[in-house]
């Protein structure tokens, strides 16, 4: 298991769920998930095997060498089975805040969306608030999945902002919704 220099532990556990630093063996499942869910990601085109290999070789591998990486990525597991990935991205080390990123296997969303998202949030909060002592974490989401906002509110995130007509999607402009949680 790889280790981030800025974290004192590498595995974060909550009941049957756990996070560990992103694994190379998950890269193609991650590519598949991202391509299936491209509609709600900031990703311009489907990823290729070459794209994913390059990203893991040139970006992900270097995160483990840095004292203050701009993102911390994790593989997410339920009962030791890989079910998704995410992390803290666009990290601001000065202001101690970060955006939350997370996607799960597409086939799990219908039945497990809220359960898996809620447990992921609890684990990423352990990383951000307990381990890194961050002040604030937030989501940045295209206004396409209202069930996401309900789940965030249920987990004590507050809608902080709605950026009107921020993104061009499906031949029209849509809002971006930001939810946040402050440590403490």
Average pLDDT of the residues in 22-42: 83
For residue 39, pLDDT over 80 is answered with no
Average pLDDT, the chain: 92
pLDDT of residue 44: 63
Q: Kindly list the strands in the beta sheet with 12-14, ordered across the sheet, starting from the edge strand earlier in the chain.
A: 12-14, 17-21, 72-78, 81-92, 97-104, 136-142, 172-182, 158-169
For 137, other C-beta atoms within 10 Å of its C-beta total 25
pTM as predicted: 0.91
Rg of the Cα atoms in the chain: 16
What's the first-to-final CA gap in the chain, in angstroms? 30
What pLDDT is recorded for position 97? 98
The residues near 124 (Cβ < 8 Å, ≥ 6 apart) are 19, 74, 86, 87, 88, 100, 102, 137
Instruction: Give mean pLDDT, residues 119-144.
Output: 95
Residues 157 and 129: their CA atoms lie apart, in Å, by 14
pLDDT digits (tens, 9 = 90+) for 52-62: 899 999 999 99
pLDDT tens for each residue of 11-29:
999 999 999 999 999 999 9
Residue 48, pLDDT score = 87
pLDDT at 1 over 80: yes
Measured CA to CA, the distance from residue 147 to residue 26 in angstroms comes to 27
Average pLDDT of span 57-74: 96
- Cβ-proximal residues to 99 (8 Å cutoff; 6+ apart), any chain: 88, 89, 90, 137, 138, 139, 140
CATH number of 12-138: 3.40.630.30
Instruction: Supply the pLDDT for residue 87.
Output: 96
What secondary structure, in 3-state letters, does 115-164 show? HHHHHHHHHHHHHHHHHCCCCEEEEEEECCCHHHHHHHHHCCCEEEEEEE
d(CA 85, CA 107): 14
- For residues 29 and 36, is the Cβ–Cβ distance under 8 A? no
Whether the predicted pLDDT of 40 surpasses 60: no
């Amino acid at each position: 298991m790889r280790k981030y220099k800025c974290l004192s532990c590498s595995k974060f556990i909550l009941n049957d769920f756990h996070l560990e630093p992103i694994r190379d063996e998950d890269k193609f499942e991650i590519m598949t998930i991202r391509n299936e869910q491209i509609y709600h990601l900031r990703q311009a085109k489907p990823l290729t095997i070459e794209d994913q290999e390059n990203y893991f070789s040139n970006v992900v591998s270097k995160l483990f060498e840095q004292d203050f990486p701009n993102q911390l990525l994790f593989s997410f597991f339920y009962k030791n089975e890989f079910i998704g990935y995410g992390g803290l991205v666009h990290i601001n080390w000065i202001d101690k805040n970060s955006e939350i990123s997370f996607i799960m296997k597409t086939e799990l969303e219908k039945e497990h969306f809220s359960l898996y998202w809620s447990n992921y949030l609890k684990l990423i909060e352990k990383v951000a608030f307990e381990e890194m002592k961050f002040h604030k974490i937030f989501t940045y989401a295209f206004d396409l999945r209202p069930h996401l906002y309900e789940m965030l509110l249920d987990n004590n995130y507050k809608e902080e902002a709605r950026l009107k007509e921020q993104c061009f999607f499906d031949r029209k402009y849509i809002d971006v919704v930001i939810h946040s949680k402050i440590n403490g």
